[in-house]
Amino acid sequence: MNSLQAENRKSLMLFSGRAYPELADEIGAHLGLQPTPTAAYDFANGEIFVRFEESVRGSDAFVVQSMTEPINKWLVEALIMVDALKRGSAKRITVVVPFFPYARQDKKHRGREPISARLVADMFKTAGADRILTVDLHTAQISGFFDGPVDHLFALSILADYVKKQYEGRKFTVVAPDSGRVRVAERWTDELGGCPLAFIHKTRDPLVPNEVVANRVVGDVEGRTCILVDDMIDTGGTIAKASEALFAADAGDVIVAATHGVLSDPATERLKNSRISEVVLTNTLPVPPEKNLDKLTLLSIAPLIARAISEVFSDGSVTSLFGGVS
């Protein structure tokens, strides 16, 4: 006999970083398991230590880390967790990063600039990650930066289903806050039954981050409920200026729908003082109580991520979660 046949004892193990353990717990609840107990702490000089308190040998390991602030700390912690799993002989390591860090730095605008999104992908691969699972990348090309499978999930159906139920009977126009979001807005119009599409023609100073000048509205928005869609809200400048432009063009109402609520200051103040009726986000990132506005609605991304993890573990199709579109 030239080989031994072992019984297939495939095991799924879930691991949570310290950035947003509540999301990992919620994902685990949908999967019917708890995150593996982990000892993690900071040394006095800021170095991070991680040790898993159960054996990970031969496991299909899923590391959940939401890259909230301080983003560099949680990125390093995720890399250390992956390294610990690799050295603990995990069979396959999937990094679940609902919000991919440095995603806005996906290309060079001028000379002597980094492509930081590619660097992050390379670091995960070097640390030992076999696969990445993420939600609504800033640009789809980032999925090609990682040398391995990337499961790119979309929150569109979660957000659109809520908008359809909450504002049933209204005349919608889907609005892209800039030309780069038009493709996403087109998918929204399909989801909402073929409603009109508009976009904001804007300019941005490449030397000044987070500063936007909104120009004119292109499309039919007069008297309509405008669904302003984006992948993330950081300082809120783009969204606030876009909503002002829409109301100046006689829009009837403005609803904002985005996947990632980064909500760096002064986003909360800008959204609070705007005429926007409602801001709908998913919980890919935590929203602290002081930033939880009355007009802010949070939808859970955990069921979608849990289903994707289940498909990956069972060698199923993640693409099937989106009707064959990815």
Estimate to the nearest angstrom the gap between the alpha carbon of 251 and the chain centroid: 29
Determine whether 165 is an active site residue: no
Pairing relationship of beta strands 48-52 and 38-42 according to DSSP bridges: antiparallel
Peptide bond preceding 266: is omega within 30 degrees of 0, i.e. cis? yes
Tokens of 228: 């302003």
From the candidates 108, 202, 241, 272, which is the catalytic residue? 202
Let me know if 96 is exposed, middle or buried by CB neighbors in 10 A (0-12, 13-18, 19+). buried
Residue type at position 194: G
Strand locations in the chain, DSSP E? Answer: 12-16, 38-42, 48-52, 60-64, 92-97, 131-135, 150-153, 172-176, 197-204, 212-218, 225-233, 253-261, 278-282, 296-299
What gap in Å lies between CA 37 and CA 56, rounded to an integer? 11
- Report DSSP state, residue 117: H
The answer to whether 84 and 71 are in contact (CB under 8 A) is no
- Report DSSP state, residue 102: T
Q: Any residues with CB less than 8 A from the CB of 321 and at least 6 apart, and which?
A: 153, 304, 307, 308, 311
- At residue 152, the 3 state secondary structure works out as strand
Strand locations in 60-128, DSSP E? Answer: 60-64, 92-97
Tokens of 255: 């609803």
Catalytically active residues are 202
